[in-house]
């Protein structure tokens, strides 16, 4: 006997929270798959998660490991392990922190910037193929909605008490 799935995928967007959650999970999984395939072109043995550190160093400049842990919502031991791998591969270097000589900053090397830009180019070429039939208006709408969603996700604690929301409706 063939059984139907408990939550079949509708062929149209119904606006439900459940459908949105399902599509977000699907998007994250597909994004991880693409990221893994694109970053395989990088140095052998480097975890694809380490590229998030490289991204932040290229995007925001030299950072302390503790700041990267905050930015990436990760623990310091994970950042330390991944940044050490990036240093070993010549993509990141440790610099003295001018504000505190006892601390060090992590910074992208020229090779790190080259690898990052290569991966960015490959990602953008792939995404251009994915969106080739989309209108400019659709792309702008998608960007605006993703920006709005990401901004809200960053400020909304999933474990916060909904009864403690502020007058502005902000998450705590």
pLDDT level of residue 165 (50, 70, 90 thresholds) = low
Mean of the pLDDT values across residues 58-84? 92
**pLDDT value, residue 119:** 85
Specify if 101 maps to a domain: yes
pLDDT level of residue 31 (50, 70, 90 thresholds) = confident
**pLDDT value, residue 163:** 72
Q: Both ends of the chain: CA-CA distance in Å?
A: 48
pTM of the model: 0.73
Specify if 118 maps to a domain: yes
Nearest-5° angle of CA 74, CA 78, CA 81? 150
Structure-model confidence comparison of residues 127 and 35, the more confident one: 127
What percent of the chain clears pLDDT 70, i.e. is strictly above it? 85
Specify if 105 maps to a domain: yes
Specify if 13 maps to a domain: no
CATH number of the domain that 122 lies in?
1.10.10.10
User: What is the extent of the structural domain holding 80?
Assistant: 44-131
Sign of the alpha-carbon torsion through 134, 117, 28, 52? negative
Specify if 139 maps to a domain: no
Kindly tell me if the per-residue pLDDT of 103 is higher than 60: yes
Count the domains in the chain.
1
Mean of the pLDDT values across residues 42-64? 85
Specify if 76 maps to a domain: yes
Nearest to 152 by CA among 135, 126, 129, 172: 172
Specify if 110 maps to a domain: yes
Nearest-5° angle of CA 152, CA 158, CA 163? 95
CA atoms within 13 A on the CB side of 132: 5
Nearest to 88 by CA among 112, 104, 105, 68: 112
Report the alpha-carbon distance of residue 33 to residue 21 in Å, rounded.
18
Specify if 120 maps to a domain: yes
């Amino acid at each position: 006997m063939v059984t139907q799935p408990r939550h079949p995928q509708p062929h149209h967007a119904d606006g439900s929270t459940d459908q949105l959650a399902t599509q977000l999970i699907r998007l994250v999984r597909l994004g991880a798959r693409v990221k893994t395939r694109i970053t395989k072109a990088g140095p052998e043995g480097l975890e694809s998660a380490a590229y998030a550190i490289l991204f932040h160093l290229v995007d925001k400049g030299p950072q302390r490991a503790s700041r990267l842990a905050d930015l990436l919502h990760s623990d310091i031991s994970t950042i330390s392990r991944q940044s050490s791998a990036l240093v070993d591969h010549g993509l990141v270097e440790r610099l003295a922190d001018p504000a505190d000589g006892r601390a060090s900053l992590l910074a992208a090397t020229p090779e790190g910037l080259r690898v990052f830009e290569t991966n960015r180019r490959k990602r953008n070429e792939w995404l251009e193929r994915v969106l080739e039939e989309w209108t400019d208006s659709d792309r702008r709408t998608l960007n605006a909605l993703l920006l709005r969603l990401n901004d809200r996700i960053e400020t909304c604690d999933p474990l916060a008490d909904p009864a403690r929301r502020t007058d502005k409706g902000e998450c705590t």
